Amino acid sequence: MNVAAVTKGIERSDWLKLRQKGIGGSDASAVAGLNRYKSPVSVFMEKTGQVQPEEAGEAAYWGSQLEDLVAKEFAARTGLRVQRSNKMYMHPEYPWMLGNVDRLITDQNKRRGVLECKTASAYKADEWKGDQVPDEYAIQLQHYLAVLGMDYGFFAVLIGGNRFEFRYVERNPGIIDSLIKIEKEFWTENVLKGIPPALDGSQASTDLLNKLYPESKPASELELTAVQAELVESLRAAKEDAKTAEELVKALENELKSIIGENEAALFKGDPVVTWKSTSTTRLDTSRLKKEHPKLYQEYAVTTNSRRFVVK
C-alpha cells in the first residue's frame, strides 16, 4: 500500500490541501454521476480551488462521532481484527486516486480488507434493506479496494440509532476498471486542464456558471449557430412541458385538498400518504418598512447583483 500522507492530528486546512491532490472515495461516486448529493461539477470546483468543501452538517458530525462505536461493535460481532488507519493512501499506478479509509481489517486467513463505518437515519432504512448498499457507498468501497489493492471489504451501519447491520463486499474488477477509466478522464481532461465537465441541471453547475460569468457586458450580443439555436427551442419545449406538468400537479393537489377538508392527514390501508397541516410564519413587511421608515430601510438594505436568464 502506497502512503501519500499521515493524517493523524492534521489541521483541516492541510487536510483540504491533501484532498485537492486527487480523487478520494467520497468523490468517486460523484465523478461517476452516481451520487444523489454531489455532481461532477461540484468535485471539479473543489479540486480546482474555486470553492471550499462545506463544513460537516449535523448528520455527518454524528456519523463521525459514532464511527468508533460502530467499528467496535463490528469487531465484537464478527471476531475480525479492526485497526484504525490514520493514513491517506494512493494507487501505485494512478497517484491521483486517493483513499482515506475508516478502518483496516484482518480476517482469519490474515487477508487485509477495508471497513467503512456508516450511520443512517430511520428514514433511510429501506436503502439498507436485504443486501442493499446505497450506490454512493458501494462505489466508495470499490474505489478504496482499487487504491489499496485489496480483495474485500465490509460496511458496518447503525440505522436509526438502534439497529446494527453489516455487509460483506468483494472486489469487483469490472466496476473498478470502469471507475479508473472515468476518474482518469475526469482528472486529466477536466481538473488538470481546468476544463469543467459537462454541465447539468445541478446547483453545482449553476454555481459554477455564476462564478465564471458573474456580470454581463452592457449592450453585448452573441450570434448563435443553428445547432445552438436548437437548444433554445428545446428549452422552450421543456418549459411548456414543465408548465403543463405544474398545472397537473396543482389540479391533483387541489382535488386531494377538497377530499381531506379540515383533516390533517389522509390514510390508505392505515398508513399516512398525504398531510395538509396548518403552519404559521413570521416575515418582515419590507414594503411597509420602506414606506413608513425609509431611513431605517436604507440603513439595513443590502443590494446584490445577479443575472436574470430570460427565453424570448
Q: Where are the domains of the chain?
A: 2-204, 226-277+284-300
CA distances from 85 to 34, 76, 104, 251 (A): 26, 19, 6, 55
Q: What is the pLDDT of residues 52-101, one digit of tens each?
A: 777 767 777 888 889 999 999 999 999 999 999 889 999 999 999 999 99
pTM: 0.72
- CATH 3.40.250.10 matches 2-204: no
Q: What is the pLDDT of residues 174-212, one digit of tens each?
A: 999 999 999 999 999 999 999 988 877 777 677 767 776
Dist. CA 140–CA 193, nearest whole Å: 25
Most confident of 42-46, 205-209, 214-218, 295-299: 42-46
What does each C-alpha distance from 83 to 71, 106, 193 come to in angstroms? Answer: 9, 8, 38
Neighbour tally for 304: CB within 10 Å: 4
| 9 phi-psi bin (left φ>0, alpha ψ -120 to 50, beta other) | left
> Kind of pairing, strands 271-275 and 265-268?
antiparallel
Beta carbons of 24 and 112 less than 8 angstroms apart: no
> In whole numbers, what is the pLDDT of the chain averaged over residues?
88
The three grid cell numbers given for residue 228, joined into one nine-digit string: 445552438
